[in-house]
């Protein structure tokens, strides 16, 4: 009898759920830090079919496709324009749209939607990630960064989005048609921004993203500053403590940007970081919102630059992300910005920083899409990303470091540097040997050295890698000449591709030698072995442009190896490096 009563009740509930039409406007809080941003589902249900649209703040609404209700479960899909491959791997063929499947369950009067991982998921912010991750090449726009966490060992914060998202119905009226997208802005020119005098050598410091993503806050930033000031990193040259995405709140009534509850007092934080003899960095972008969907600087560039100056900010990373939702895209490839429009959008902030009354290092992040090396310095940039997001995997580091940097040497020099993305050293996804390779290559490439691990909790061998003064001296060499790959030589047909796309898109073989001249007349050379077994790697003097007998010092063993004529060979472990300095 009890059993029968239960069945009747359950059936009645299911029937009621079925009977309750989902028609109306539903809204859900988007972020773990509540900034009042809402995701909207505008639904019209007719029998088992659902139509309408999904809209995230400041983003173009996307139509609901194949919407169905079965029992108390709603399923649907949306399609967003694909972003295609980034940087060197980009093609001129417009990328295919990316489809994301969603499912939500009606629980009482709430629709509870579990965000899919990957495209359109926890990282599926209104910005690029929803559309880009699936199409990105390995080492391209971080698949690892797209989900709510960052793979095993990732922070709980992810991009800081709620998962699941709980929608409440705010109206039962049938929503209107899909809102038309706003007209895009085209910019046709800009005045070059004067050099700010910073980054005479590549910037060094720490950035929150690789380890913390949405979990960055005032306390852990202070912790990083404490660690950096006392663990030998500051002494080795690290100075910037950079907050990446997810610090932003909405703007006040006057349009001034505010920090969210994770950062209660940005000025006090900068005072604290400065009191340690360090500098504080922050993050924004030219679009209306950042890659994680927080407020961007679109139409607020001057206000933001002034606010950063007032807070005592010393470094700005400026990330394109939603730029393509407000600025004109290339009609031939909607995943790419129109080149002049993009440059001018960056120049707006470059100019604003220049006039802000404070020296603020300007870091461009447009993933190497639009030949950034040719104009980065003109818009005031001191450093510019050349690729999609790195992740803490050997393949990602190789794809970015060996696969997409060769050919960009001509754009680097004092004041303006290529940026193959932040370091993953110490985040746990590579071996110590592989991290040494990562550090050596970044130093040879004159890359920004921004540690991306938890500095408060690091194994001695990781600290040793990050603070190898002899390797750092190569990165920070005053001549500022980025290393070229001298062996194997770049084949002629690839050289043609390099001039068209700035960088190579293949990794160039198992055994590679990179070399750069140094201010004291010496040479820094990396002998790399990307293969699965120990191998002998040789640096030939003729490849490096030197002759005769030269003294060689091993920069990881910290040992002089004697004088060598014509070449230097070493047995290099699998995935490892021997990094040497050849004296004048």
| Residues recognised as catalytic | 319, 389
Give yes or no for a contact between 164 and 115, defined as CB atoms under 8 angstroms apart.
yes
Using the minimum distance from each CB to ligand GLA, give the nearer residue, 291 or 572. Answer: 291
Give yes or no for a contact between 525 and 470, defined as CB atoms under 8 angstroms apart.
no
Using the minimum distance from each CB to ligand GLA, give the nearer residue, 291 or 555. Answer: 291
Out of 218, 248, 319, 502, which residue is the one contacting ligand GLA (CB under 6 A)? Answer: 319
**292 near ligand GLA, rule: CB under 6 A:** yes
> How far apart are alpha carbons 76 and 486 in whole angstroms?
53
Shortest gap between Cβ of 384 and ligand GLA (angstroms)? 12
Using the minimum distance from each CB to ligand GLA, give the nearer residue, 453 or 529. Answer: 453
Span near ligand GLA by CB under 6 A; candidates 106-114, 288-296, 303-311, 403-411 = 288-296
Span near ligand GLA by CB under 6 A; candidates 192-200, 290-298, 299-307, 323-331 = 290-298
Span near ligand GLA by CB under 6 A; candidates 182-190, 287-295, 298-306, 350-358 = 287-295
Using the minimum distance from each CB to ligand GLA, give the nearer residue, 167 or 320. Answer: 320
> How far apart are alpha carbons 279 and 452 in whole angstroms?
16
Residue ranges of alpha helices (H) inside 147-281 are 209-212, 218-230, 233-236, 266-275
**419 near ligand GLA, rule: CB under 6 A:** no
| Burial of 492 per CB tally in 10 Å (0-12, 13-18, 19+) | exposed
| Burial of 341 per CB tally in 10 Å (0-12, 13-18, 19+) | buried
Out of 90, 225, 365, 448, which residue is the one contacting ligand GLA (CB under 6 A)? Answer: 365
Instruction: Give the contact letters, 434-453, x = binds to ligand GLA (CB under 6 A), - = no.
Output: --------------------
The residue among 320, 325, 360 whose CA lies nearest residue 343 is 320
Its sign, for the CA torsion 123, 129, 134, 140, is negative
> How far apart are alpha carbons 477 and 201 in whole angstroms?
7
- Looking at the DSSP bridge assignments, the partners of residue 204 are 449
Shortest gap between Cβ of 70 and ligand GLA (angstroms)? 35
Q: How many CB atoms lie within 10 A of CB 30?
A: 23
**291 near ligand GLA, rule: CB under 6 A:** yes
Which of the residues 127 through 156 are near ligand GLA (CB under 6 A)? 142, 145
Using the minimum distance from each CB to ligand GLA, give the nearer residue, 365 or 379. Answer: 365
Out of 290, 382, 507, 529, which residue is the one contacting ligand GLA (CB under 6 A)? Answer: 290
Which of the residues 189 through 228 are near ligand GLA (CB under 6 A)? 209
Shortest gap between Cβ of 421 and ligand GLA (angstroms)? 7
Give yes or no for a contact between 446 and 202, defined as CB atoms under 8 angstroms apart.
yes
Distance of CA 95 to the CA centre of its chain: 20
Residue 64 backbone dihedrals phi, psi, to 5 degrees: -80, 130
Shortest gap between Cβ of 389 and ligand GLA (angstroms)? 5
Span near ligand GLA by CB under 6 A; candidates 215-223, 226-234, 289-297, 435-443 = 289-297
Out of 389, 409, 434, 475, which residue is the one contacting ligand GLA (CB under 6 A)? Answer: 389
**244 near ligand GLA, rule: CB under 6 A:** yes
Which residues, including other chains, have CB under 8 Å from residue 158's CB and lie 6 or more apart? 122, 123, 147, 148, 149, 150, 213, 214
Q: Which residues bind ligand GLA (CB under 6 A)?
A: 142, 145, 209, 244-245, 290-292, 319, 365, 389
């Amino acid at each position: 009898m009890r059993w029968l009563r239960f069945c009747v009740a359950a059936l009645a509930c299911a029937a009621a759920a079925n009977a309750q039409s989902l028609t109306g406007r539903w809204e859900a809080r988007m972020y773990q830090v509540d900034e009042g941003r809402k995701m909207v589902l505008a639904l019209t249900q007719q029998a088992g079919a659902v139509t309408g649209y999904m809209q995230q703040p400041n983003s173009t609404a996307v139509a609901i496709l194949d919407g169905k209700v079965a029992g108390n479960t709603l399923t649907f899909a949306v399609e967003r324009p694909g972003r295609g491959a980034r940087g060197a791997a980009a093609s001129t063929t417009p990328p295919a749209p990316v489809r994301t499947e969603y499912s939500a369950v009606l629980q009482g009067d709430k629709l509870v939607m579990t965000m899919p991982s990957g495209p359109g998921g926890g990282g599926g912010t209104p910005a690029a990630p929803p559309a880009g991750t699936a199409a990105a090449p390995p080492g391209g726009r971080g698949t690892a960064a797209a989900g709510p966490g960052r793979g095993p060992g990732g922070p709980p914060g992810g991009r800081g989005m709620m998962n699941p998202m709980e929608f409440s119905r705010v109206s039962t009226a049938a929503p209107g048609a899909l809102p038309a997208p706003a007209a895009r802005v085209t910019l046709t020119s800009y005045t070059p921004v004067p050099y700010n005098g910073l980054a005479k050598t590549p910037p060094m410091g720490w950035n929150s993203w690789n380890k913390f993503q949405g979990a960055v806050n005032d306390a852990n930033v202070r912790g990083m500053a404490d660690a950096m000031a006392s663990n030998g990193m500051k002494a080795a040259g690290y100075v910037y403590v950079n907050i990446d995405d997810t610090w932003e709140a909405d703007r006040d009534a006057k349009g001034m940007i505010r920090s969210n509850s994770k950062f209660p007092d940005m000025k006090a934080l900068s005072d604290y970081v400065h009191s340690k003899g360090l500098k504080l960095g922050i993050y924004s972008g030219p679009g209306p919102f950042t890659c994680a969907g927080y407020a961007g600087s679109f139409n607020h560039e001057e206000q933001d630059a002034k606010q950063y100056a007032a807070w005592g900010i010393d470094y700005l990373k400026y990330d394109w992300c939603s730029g393509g939702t407000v600025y004109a895209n290339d009609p031939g490839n909607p995943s790419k910005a129109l080149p002049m429009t993009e440059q001018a959008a960056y120049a707006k902030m470059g100019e604003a920083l220049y006039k802000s009354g404070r020296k603020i290092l300007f870091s461009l992040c447009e993933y190497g899409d639009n030949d950034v090396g040719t104009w980065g310095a003109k818009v005031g940039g001191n450093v510019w990303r050349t690729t999609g997001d790195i992740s803490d995997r050997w393949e990602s580091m190789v794809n970015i470091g060996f696969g997409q940097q060769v050919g960009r040497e001509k754009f680097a020099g004092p004041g303006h540097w290529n940026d193959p993305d932040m370091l993953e050293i110490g985040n746990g996804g590579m071996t110590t040997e592989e991290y040494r390779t990562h550090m050596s290559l970044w130093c040879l490439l004159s890359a920004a050295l921004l540690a991306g691990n938890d500095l408060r909790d690091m194994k001695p061998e990781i600290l040793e890698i990050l603070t190898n003064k002899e390797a750092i001296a190569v990165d920070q060499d005053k001549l500022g000449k980025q290393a070229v790959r001298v062996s194997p030589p770049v084949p002629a047909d690839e050289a043609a591709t390099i001039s068209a796309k700035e960088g190579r898109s293949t990794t160039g073989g198992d055994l590679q030698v990179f070399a750069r001249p140094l201010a004291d007349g010496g040479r820094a050379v990396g002998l790399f072995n990307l293969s699965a077994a120990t191998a002998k790697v040789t640096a030939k003097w003729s490849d490096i442009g030197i002759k005769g007998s030269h003294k060689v010092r091993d920069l990881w063993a910290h040992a002089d190896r004697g004088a060598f004529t014509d070449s230097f060979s070493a047995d290099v472990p699998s995935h490892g490096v021997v990094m040497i300095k050849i004296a004048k």
